[in-house]
Amino acid sequence: MSSIDLSKYQKQSPHKPSQTDGNDSSLTEKLSNTLNKDITLFEKKFGQTQKEALYSELGLLLSSGIDIKTALEIIEDQLKIKKHKAIISQIKEDIISGQSVWEALHKHNNVFSVYEYQSVKIGEESGKLPEVLIELGKFYTSSIKLRRQIISTLTYPAVVLTMSVLIVQFMLSFVVPMFTDIFKHTGAELPATTQLLIKLSAKSGLIFYSLIAIVIAGFLIHKTQQHKIWFRKHTAQLLLRVPVVNELIRKIYLARFCQSMKLLLGSKVLLIDALDLVKNMIGYYPIEHALDSVIKDVYSGKQLHESLALHTIFPKKLVSLIKVSEEVNAPELIFEKLNQQYAEEIEHQQLVIGKVIEPLFLVILGGLVGFILVSMYTPLFKMSSGIEGM
């Protein structure tokens, strides 16, 4: 979704074709419509980028005094994807027919989450809809930034790992067999490492295609099971055991938790309701599981910091600051500060991991190639030394 250009927005007057251009105009229009039909096979879904633009722009327009109908018309006019235009158009028509904004969003619950339309509902009831929409835009801006940081961090290792597998496969399939033929003719006794590589070379095709099968199977399992509790639980536990990466992942979701709590508590949502909404949208099993217990504790009268302290997923610093916020009755300010701190820590840690991983993977790749070459050339050096000694 592009940024809004108010200067381009104007109500279109219906065009009345003249007598002379009737047939030509009709044919031209039909041809134009045919050529400009959207190809829906690869059409982009209404994802985080579109939501970030929608909420930010809608909040800005409403803050400027523009009514909701005109604001949605302006946003709709900027959209180029037919499916996206249809969603906004339907929301606009529902609002015109008398529904509230959150009810119009709720009708598209396959696009908008419980967290989103409940936040909008709170904004409408409190008279702070523009502010809530702008905060939702900031939430998705932060989410997009974090996602890009993760992709940036993981792209280089993924590329190097793929290249390592391909290079090793090439050497096992083509380089090692050439040396194997030489060794067979000489009949010399080979070192254990050389014998191991020759055995691996004989089965390199099976190993390579087995790796591809494992990757494809993992991808399919992720696609089909990613929303199942058992899958989310075990993948989260696995990632939490990976050094360095575990802390980065935990901080990413803690930042999302703090940002969401700041938005909801700032809109004067009850603490229990805020926790329940965050639990339903956080997308991270360890925090969701912990919040189940936290909600019960808070409902029974326990303070938030006391309940959070019982779960290791929440660090002591976060618990201590929340305790202070409860004492001074300013939870949204503390959550905002925590969100900013985590965002800075994530950015710094992402840069550090990138700088450490890059040389580490190069060393590993060089080590693998070097091991293969040394293992292959060592017997040749021994044979040449034996011939010279004779």
Quote the pLDDT of residue 311. 92
- pLDDT digit string (tens) for the chain, length 390 residues: 444 443 443 333 334 444 444 444 444 444 444 434 433 333 467 888 888 889 999 999 999 889 989 999 999 898 888 888 899 999 999 999 999 998 999 888 888 887 788 888 888 887 888 888 888 888 888 778 777 767 776 777 788 888 888 888 888 888 888 888 877 777 767 888 888 888 888 888 888 899 899 989 988 998 888 878 888 888 888 888 877 778 888 888 898 889 888 888 877 788 888 898 888 778 788 999 999 999 999 999 899 999 999 999 999 999 999 999 888 888 888 898 998 888 888 888 877 877 777 788 788 888 888 888 888 888 877 766 655 544
pLDDT at site 214: 92
pLDDT value of position 385: 63
Q: Are 242 and 337 in contact (CB under 8 A)?
A: no
pLDDT of 213 reads 93
The pLDDT value given to residue 356:
78
Tell which residue, 7, 8, 25, has the closest CA to residue 16. 25
Give me the pLDDT at residue 240, please. 82
Distance between the two ends of the chain, CA-based, in angstroms? 79
Give per-residue burial for 200-223: e unless 16+ CB within 10 Å, then b: ebeebeeebeeeeeeeeeeeeeee
Q: How many other CB atoms are there within 10 angstroms of residue 5's CB atom? A: 10
Positive or negative torsion for Cα 212, 214, 217, 219: negative
Greatest Cα-to-Cα distance within the chain, rounded to the nearest angstrom:
106
Q: What pLDDT is recorded for position 305?
A: 92
What pLDDT was estimated at residue 310?
Answer: 92
